[in-house]
């Protein structure tokens, strides 16, 4: 597919104008900072409607196949639209799990019927998706998942519970990893992977309160819930491989996501602005040499991470440890974001002690809340420690951790 | 509008990099590097001639003057692999001296020196002074004008330090104060008296560094680079040096990470390869992540340098970020390399020290990470 620079520029101008015109104003209530923090019906409906609007305007799923509701265009168009969303700081696309993990997975290995049934409704946010991987006793050790899926004719009967289910309260479907056979040689065999409906008898999502006091995820109980075996994706007993594939989408090691931003973007430049207003010794904090040094360190790191994305595209500059940048991206970006949020809090001097809803909270307490919420990305989707194991083992070739 | 690519890396650059990688690995295996530690010069004449024969000294010199007409970006692609193998040579100094002549020299100086420098003549940079200040305009060396039967002459006084590979040099590029302003001067080897150079003991033993005593040296006034803006030229030289040091440090960090990984995959304690312990594995990932960012900054800076965008601030930001990040990455990787080798890491025999010494040299020449962040603060925050 060849595209001209002119076409792309034209598209960019269009996209910039559309987002500028259609960017929702202040909804009058606090919006979540990422898809993992959607805690009220009001927030959810607002974000779902926004996603539908963006999709209908042609700025989401641009590179997904047209026959399933995508735009059928080159990825470059979607990248432009996504960059525009970040730049204009529009609200994020709330159906992240559908758009970025379940969707690419279904396109990659789903049946024709599954593609027909789900892809378009993921883009339009008619179907919201959630992920049922973690369990109360099995988190990092995902392969040890124990939720039971027992075959009964052409159905599976589900019993057990999943936990930390983001969007669990709102989801229509779940990508579900469950144990269909408990008598196997290794824990990795005997797992099966399902595209399971959520709104059926026997499935009950119960909200859990987060460290910020808000809601966003659930413990999801399964009590003799029955689903047809057409919900399987991949072969019965081969669920581990499907789960690993999912994680490559989730951690953006593989491409093919529908696009869009999935959290409120944070830029080091915003913290620079904060430093202009914060005070130290009767002067703007930005004049303090120690603070200046830290600001610059954040700017260097932000730039390095941006440039990494460009360099990752050039094979000749990735000969030593191919794939290192992509494999480490979740680790590097989530850790940077966490440190930046915390620094923004500490910059505020005594005002760092205020929190959201305090009349004098700086930027509405965004940084304090952002710092707490930043742990969603250093824990969710595989903790930073697990990411370091993975990069150490798969990229650097070090022996598996004991 | 869509941003133009910020990292350009052509097939020619990729090829050049590959050749330099093989060359450095073959010509500078660790045994050769160690043998050279004992030698008078940082590099054998044969190897230097080979480098000249490959055309690498003329990469950034225009074709009219016997070079290939490329830029410092291509030089980066060969300096990085050389740094990885700790190959030490006057290549960077010779390249930068040629650039200074190209930027600020007269037509005669260009046609006299550039073809020679492209062909294997060695140039040394005499820019640093005993006060150790990284500000290249902080000059205590000076010259006074004298008339003699050879014409108008400059009589030099003061001293320079960290003049690497001076004993091999055919030409010195010297900075000094003249009539109250910075000046750049070409000094030929023949103008130096017997005792002008003395060897310095420096932390990186792969390097040969000299002090240069200027007292008593006389050179024709015509040897001054006729630049109107010498401070500007000094700044470009400084940034060029930072760029090449960043390349050397990225290469060095790659080398030392590989050295350490090798040990972590072969040394066993408590019935496990030590690389299985997260107390070692995780810092290795930190080292990798630091290096990956440094390389992205480096090749972006090389791209910007190539496009001549140094003066609009964008290039300066890119180069300073590259040097700061490369220094931090190499420092961390080489420091951990010593620790992760245990007592063997404490020995002279362990190669970790060679990299740690190299990292310290590279960081402390032309500004450490803190210094560059301070300069960046002025560029980015004010
Ligand atoms: C905001 C948020 C949203 C989430 N959303 C979802 C979701 O939608 N669906 C879903 O299925 N899950 C979700 N998760 C769960 C997430 O995937 C798990 O929390 C994560 O995989 C870690 O599991 P755990 O919480 O059980 O911690 P544990 O695995 O018990 O880990 C506890 C600590 O031990 C460390 N640790 C564990 N094993 C190792 C090891 N081998 N080496 C070194 N350190 C180790 C961890 O890094 C961590 O610090 C979410 C989590 C959060 C925080």
pLDDT > 90: percent of chain B: 92
Question: Which member of A12, A300, A311 has the closest CB to residue B2?
Answer: A12
Mean pLDDT of A126-142: 97
Question: Which member of A391, A395, A398 has the closest CB to residue B275?
Answer: A398
In short, whether A208's Cβ falls inside 6 Å of ligand 1 is no
Assess if residue A112 is contained within a domain.
Answer: yes
Residue A313 has pLDDT above 80, yes or no: yes
In short, whether A380's Cβ falls inside 6 Å of ligand 1 is yes
Q: Is B284–A400 a contact, with Cβ atoms under 8 angstroms apart?
A: no
Question: Tens of pLDDT along B152-175?
Answer: 999 999 999 999 999 999 999 999
Assess if residue A115 is contained within a domain.
Answer: yes
What whole-number distance in Å separates Cα of residue B284 and Cα of residue B337? 9
Question: Which member of B278, B299, B373 has the closest CB to residue A311?
Answer: B299
**B11-122 CATH pick, 1.10.540.10, 1.25.40.80, 3.40.50.2300, 1.10.10.10:** 1.10.540.10
Q: Which pTM value belongs to this model?
A: 0.95
Assess if residue A60 is contained within a domain.
Answer: yes
In short, whether A143's Cβ falls inside 6 Å of ligand 1 is no
Count interface pairs A-B at CB distance under 8 A. 145
| Probe target for ligand 1 pocket from A130, A207, A380, A382, with the most ligand atoms within 8 Å of CB | A380
What is the atom index within ligand 1 of the atom nearest the CA of A167?
A: 8
Indicate the domain borders of chain B. 11-122, 126-223, 230-381
Pair (A117, A158) in one structural domain = no
pLDDT of residue A1: 52
What CATH number is given to the structural domain containing A27? 1.10.540.10
Instruction: Show the 3-state SS of chain B.
Output: CCCCCCCCCCHHHHHHHHHHHHHHHHHCCHHHHHHHHCCCCCCCHHHHHHHHHCCCCCCCCCHHHCCCCCCHHHHHHHHHHHHHCCCCCCHHHHHHHHHHHHHHCCHHHHHHHHHHHHHCCCEEEECECCCCCCCCCCCCCEEEEEEECCEEEEEEECEEEEEECHHHCCEEEEEEEECCEEEEEEEEHHHCCCCCEEEECCCCCCCCEEEEECCCCEEEHHHECCCCCHHHHHHHHHHHHHHHHHHHHHHHHHHHHHHHHHHHHHCEECCEEHHHCHHHHHHHHHHHHHHHHHHHHHHHHHHHHHCCCCCCCHHHHHHHHHHHHHHHHHHHHHHHHHHHCHHHHHCCCCCHHHHHHHHHHHHHCCCCHHHHHHHHHHHHHC
CB B212 within 8 A of CB B196: yes
Pair (A143, A120) in one structural domain = no
Pair (A95, A186) in one structural domain = no
Radius of gyration of chain A (CA): 22
CA–centroid distance for A234 within its chain: 23
Measure CA of the first residue to CA of the last residue in chain B; give whole Å. Answer: 26
What CATH number is given to the structural domain containing A346? 1.20.140.10
What whole-number distance in Å separates Cα of residue A230 and Cα of residue B244? 60
pLDDT of residue B151: 82
Pair (A292, A329) in one structural domain = yes
Active site residue A84: no
Which of B285, B291, B294 to probe by mutation at the A interface, max A CB count within 10 Å?
Answer: B285
| Among candidate residues A316, A331, A342, the one with its CA nearest the CA of residue A390 | A331
Which CATH number describes the domain made up of B126-223? Answer: 2.40.110.10
Closest residue in A to B272 (Cα–Cα): A402
CA–centroid distance for A7 within its chain: 30
- Asked: is B230-381 a CATH 1.20.140.10 domain? The reply is yes
- Cβ-based neighbour number of residue B14 at 10 Å: 16
Beta bridge partners of B155: B144, B218
CB A134 within 8 A of CB A143: no
* Residues of chain B found within 8 Å of residue A298, distances taken between Cβ atoms: none
Choose one of A124, A146, A168: the last residue of a domain: A124
- B134 to chain A, any CB pair closer than 8 A? The answer is no
Using 50, 70 and 90 to split pLDDT, how confident is the model at A237? Answer: very high
Q: What's the number of domains chain A is made of?
A: 3
What's chain A's length in residues? Answer: 402
Question: Tens of pLDDT along B201-228?
Answer: 999 999 999 999 999 999 999 999 998 8
Q: Is B288–A398 a contact, with Cβ atoms under 8 angstroms apart?
A: no
Pair (A119, A174) in one structural domain = no
Question: Using CA positions, which residue lies closest to atom 25 of ligand 1?
Answer: A139
| Catalytic entry in A37, A84, A135, A250 | A250
Q: Is A199 exposed, middle or buried (0-12, 13-18, 19+ CB in 10 A)?
A: exposed
Using 50, 70 and 90 to split pLDDT, how confident is the model at A314? Answer: very high
What residue numbers bound the domain in which A195 lies?
130-238
Assess if residue A255 is contained within a domain.
Answer: no
Mean pLDDT for chain B overall: 95
pLDDT of residue B1: 40
Question: Tens of pLDDT along B109-147?
Answer: 999 999 999 999 999 999 999 999 999 999 999 999 998
Q: What separation in Å is there between the alpha carbon of B285 and the centre of ligand 1?
A: 20
Which of A398, A400, A401, A402 to probe by mutation at the B interface, max B CB count within 10 Å?
Answer: A398
Choose one of A71, A93, A124: the last residue of a domain: A124
In short, whether A140's Cβ falls inside 6 Å of ligand 1 is yes
Q: What separation in Å is there between the alpha carbon of A143 and the centre of ligand 1?
A: 13
Mean pLDDT of A154-160: 98
In short, whether A133's Cβ falls inside 6 Å of ligand 1 is yes
Pair (A107, A144) in one structural domain = no
In short, whether A386's Cβ falls inside 6 Å of ligand 1 is yes
Strands B171-178 and B123-126: parallel
Mean pLDDT for chain A overall: 96
* B287-to-A51, B45, B133 alpha-carbon distances in Å: 39, 35, 29
Residue A52 has pLDDT above 70, yes or no: yes
Alpha-carbon distance B257 to nearest alpha carbon in chain A (angstroms):
9
Assess if residue A387 is contained within a domain.
Answer: yes
Residue A258 has pLDDT above 50, yes or no: yes
Question: Tens of pLDDT along A174-203?
Answer: 999 999 999 999 999 999 999 999 999 999
Which of B10, B258, B289 to probe by mutation at the A interface, max A CB count within 10 Å?
Answer: B289
Closest residue in A to B270 (Cα–Cα): A402
Conformational region of residue A134, where left means phi above 0, alpha means psi within -120 to 50, and beta covers everything else = beta
Using 50, 70 and 90 to split pLDDT, how confident is the model at B4? Answer: low
Mean pLDDT of A43-53: 97
Q: Is A300–B288 a contact, with Cβ atoms under 8 angstroms apart?
A: no
Pair (A272, A391) in one structural domain = yes
Assess if residue A368 is contained within a domain.
Answer: yes
Which of B293, B302, B368 to probe by mutation at the A interface, max A CB count within 10 Å?
Answer: B293
| Among candidate residues A32, A15, A5, the one with its CA nearest the CA of residue A83 | A15
Pair (A189, A280) in one structural domain = no
* Residues of chain B found within 8 Å of residue A299, distances taken between Cβ atoms: 376, 380
What whole-number distance in Å separates Cα of residue B178 and Cα of residue B180? 5
Q: Is B6–A310 a contact, with Cβ atoms under 8 angstroms apart?
A: yes
Assess if residue A10 is contained within a domain.
Answer: yes
pLDDT of residue B2: 47
What whole-number distance in Å separates Cα of residue B304 and Cα of residue B293? 17
pLDDT of residue B5: 80
- B265 to chain A, any CB pair closer than 8 A? The answer is yes
| Among candidate residues B240, B282, B192, the one with its CA nearest the CA of residue B96 | B240
Question: Tens of pLDDT along A12-31?
Answer: 999 999 999 999 999 999 99
Assess if residue A20 is contained within a domain.
Answer: yes
Angle at A273 between CA A272 and CA A279, to 5 degrees: 90
Using 50, 70 and 90 to split pLDDT, how confident is the model at B310? Answer: low
Q: What separation in Å is there between the alpha carbon of A244 and the centre of ligand 1?
A: 15
Closest residue in A to B1 (Cα–Cα): A9
Specify the long-range contacts of residues A3-6, CB closer than 8 Å, at least 24 apart: A3/A74, A3/A76, A3/A77, A5/B2
CB A172 within 8 A of CB A117: no
Question: Which member of B2, B7, B325 has the closest CB to residue A80?
Answer: B2
Mean pLDDT of A291-320: 97
Q: What separation in Å is there between the alpha carbon of A386 and the centre of ligand 1?
A: 9
| Among candidate residues B34, B41, B36, the one with its CA nearest the CA of residue B165 | B41
Q: List B residues 187-216 in contact with A (Cβ-Cβ < 8 A).
A: none
Question: Using CA positions, which residue lies closest to atom 37 of ligand 1?
Answer: A140
Q: Is B377–A295 a contact, with Cβ atoms under 8 angstroms apart?
A: yes
Q: List B residues 297-336 in contact with A (Cβ-Cβ < 8 A).
A: 297, 299-300, 321, 324-325
pLDDT of residue A251: 84
Using 50, 70 and 90 to split pLDDT, how confident is the model at A255? Answer: confident
Question: Tens of pLDDT along B331-360?
Answer: 999 999 999 999 999 999 999 999 999 999
Angle at A384 between CA A382 and CA B256, to 5 degrees: 130
Pair (A139, A218) in one structural domain = yes
* Residues of chain A found within 8 Å of residue B377, distances taken between Cβ atoms: 289, 292-293, 295-296
Question: Which member of A8, A297, A398 has the closest CB to residue B281?
Answer: A398
Pair (A88, A141) in one structural domain = no
Please report how the helices B314-340 and B369-381 are oriented relative to each other, as an axis angle in degrees rounded to 10.
150
- B5 to chain A, any CB pair closer than 8 A? The answer is yes
Question: Using CA positions, which residue lies closest to atom 12 of ligand 1?
Answer: A134
Mean pLDDT of B182-209: 96
Pair (A286, A374) in one structural domain = yes
Instruction: Show the 3-state SS of chain A.
Output: CCCCHHHHHHHHHHHHHHHHHHCCCCCCCCCCCEHHHCCCHHHHHHHHHHHHHHHHHCCCCCCCCHHHCCCCCCHHHHHHHHHHHHHCCCCCCCCHHHHHHHHHHHHHHCCHHHHHHHHHHHHCCCCCEEEECCECCECCCHHHCCCEEEEECCEEEEEEEEEEEECCCCCCEEEEEEECCCCCCCCCCCEEEEEEECCCCCEEEEEEECCCCCEEEEEEEEEEEEEEHHHECCCCCEHHHHHHHHHHHHCCCCCCCCCCCCECCCCHHHHHHHHHHCEECCEEHHHCHHHHHHHHHHHHHHHHHHHHHHHCCCHHHCCCCCCHHHHHHHHHHHHHHHHHHHHHHHCCHHHHHCCCCCCCCHHHHHHHHHHHHHHHHHHCCCCHHHHHHHHHHHHCCCCCCC
Mean pLDDT of A105-110: 97
Residue B73 has pLDDT above 70, yes or no: yes
Using 50, 70 and 90 to split pLDDT, how confident is the model at B3? Answer: low
Question: Which member of A299, A314, A328 has the closest CB to residue B380?
Answer: A299
Mean pLDDT of A87-98: 96
Question: Using CA positions, which residue lies closest to atom 19 of ligand 1?
Answer: A380
What whole-number distance in Å separates Cα of residue B23 and Cα of residue B91? 14
Respond yes or no on whether ipTM tops 0.85.
Answer: yes
CB-hemisphere CA count at 13 Å for B79?
A: 33
Alpha-carbon distance A266 to nearest alpha carbon in chain B (angstroms):
18
| Probe target for ligand 1 pocket from A36, A128, A140, with the most ligand atoms within 8 Å of CB | A140
């Amino acid at each position: 597919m060849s595209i001209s620079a002119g076409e792309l520029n034209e598209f960019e101008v269009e996209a910039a104008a559309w987002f500028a015109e259609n960017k929702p104003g202040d909804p009058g209530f606090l919006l979540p900072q990422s898809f993992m923090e959607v805690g009220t019906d009001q927030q959810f409906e607002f974000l779902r409607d926004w996603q539908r609007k963006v999709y209908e305007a042609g700025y989401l799923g641009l590179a997904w196949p047209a026959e399933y509701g995508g735009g059928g265009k080159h990825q470059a168009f979607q990248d432009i639209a996504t960059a525009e969303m970040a730049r204009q700081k529009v609200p994020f696309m709330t159906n992240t799990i559908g758009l970025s993990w379940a969707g690419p997975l279904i396109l990659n290995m789903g049946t024709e019927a599954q593609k027909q049934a789900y892809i378009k409704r993921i883009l339009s946010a008619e179907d919201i998706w959630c992920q049922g991987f973690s369990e109360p006793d099995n988190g990092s050790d995902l392969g040890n998942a124990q939720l039971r899926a027992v075959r009964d004719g052409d159905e599976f009967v589900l019993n057990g519970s999943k936990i930390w289910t983001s969007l669990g309260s709102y989801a229509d479907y779940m990508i579900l990893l469950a144990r269909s056979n408990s008598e196997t040689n290794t824990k990795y065999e005997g797992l099966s992977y399902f595209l399971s409906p959520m709104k059926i008898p026997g499935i009950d999502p119960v909200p859990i309160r987060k460290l910020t006091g808000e809601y966003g995820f659930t413990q999801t109980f399964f009590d003799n819930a029955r689903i047809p075996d057409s919900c399987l994706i991949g072969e019965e007993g081969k669920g581990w491989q499907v789960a690993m594939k999912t994680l490559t989408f989730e951690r953006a090691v593989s491409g093919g996501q529908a696009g869009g931003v999935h959290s409120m973007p944070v830029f080091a430049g915003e913290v620079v602005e904060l430093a202009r207003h914060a005070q130290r010794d009767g002067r703007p904090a930005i004049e303090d040499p120690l603070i200046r040094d830290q600001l610059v360190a954040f700017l260097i790191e932000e730039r390095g991470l941006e440039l990494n994305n460009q360099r990752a595209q050039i094979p000749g500059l990735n000969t030593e440890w191919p794939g290192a940048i992509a494999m480490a991206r979740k680790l590097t970006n989530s850790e940077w974001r966490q440190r930046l949020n915390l620094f923004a809090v500490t910059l505020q001097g005594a005002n760092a002690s205020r929190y959201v809803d305090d009349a004098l909270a700086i930027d509405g307490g965004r940084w304090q809340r952002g710092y707490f919420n930043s742990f969603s990305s250093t824990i969710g989707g595989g903790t930073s420690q697990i990411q370091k194991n993975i990069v150490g083992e798969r990229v650097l070739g070090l022996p598996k951790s004991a | 509008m869509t941003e133009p690519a910020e990292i350009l890396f052509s097939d020619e650059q990729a090829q050049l990099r590959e050749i330099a990688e093989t060359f450095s690995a073959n010509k500078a295996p660790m045994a050769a590097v160690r043998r050279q530690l004992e030698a008078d010069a940082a590099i054998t004449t044969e190897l230097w001639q080979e480098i000249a024969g490959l055309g690498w000294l003329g990469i950034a010199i225009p074709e009219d003057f016997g070079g290939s007409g490329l830029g410092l970006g291509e030089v980066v692609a060969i300096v990085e692999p050389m740094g990885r193998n700790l190959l030490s040579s006057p290549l960077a100094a010779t390249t930068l001296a040629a650039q200074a002549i190209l930027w600020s020299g007269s037509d005669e100086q260009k046609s006299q020196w550039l073809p020679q420098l492209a062909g294997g003549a060695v140039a040394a940079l005499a820019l640093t002074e005993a006060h150790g200040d990284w500000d290249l305009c902080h000059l205590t060396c000076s010259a006074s004008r004298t008339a003699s039967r050879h014409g108008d002459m400059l009589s030099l006084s003061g001293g320079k330090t960290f003049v690497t590979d001076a004993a091999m040099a055919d030409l010195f590029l010297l900075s000094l104060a003249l009539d109250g302003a910075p000046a750049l001067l070409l000094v030929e080897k023949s103008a130096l008296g017997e005792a002008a150079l003395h060897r310095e003991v420096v932390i990186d033993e792969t390097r040969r560094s000299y002090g240069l005593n200027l007292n008593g040296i006389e050179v024709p006034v015509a040897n001054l680079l006729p630049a109107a803006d010498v401070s500007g030229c000094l700044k470009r030289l400084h940034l060029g040096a930072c760029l090449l040091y960043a390349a050397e440090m990225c290469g060095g960090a790659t080398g030392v990470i590989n050295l350490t990984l090798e040990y972590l995959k072969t040394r066993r304690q408590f019935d496990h390869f030590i690389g299985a312990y997260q107390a070692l594995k995780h810092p290795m990932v930190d080292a990798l992540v630091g290096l990956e960012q440094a390389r992205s900054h480096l090749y972006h800076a090389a791209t910007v340098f190539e496009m001549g965008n140094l003066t609009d601030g964008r290039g300066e930001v890119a180069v300073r970020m590259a040097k700061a990040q490369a220094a931090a990455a190499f420092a961390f990787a080489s420091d951990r390399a010593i620790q992760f080798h245990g007592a063997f890491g404490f020995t002279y025999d362990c190669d970790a020290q060679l990299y740690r010494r190299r990292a310290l040299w590279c960081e402390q020449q032309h500004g450490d990470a803190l210094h560059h962040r301070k300069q960046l603060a002025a560029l980015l925050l004010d």
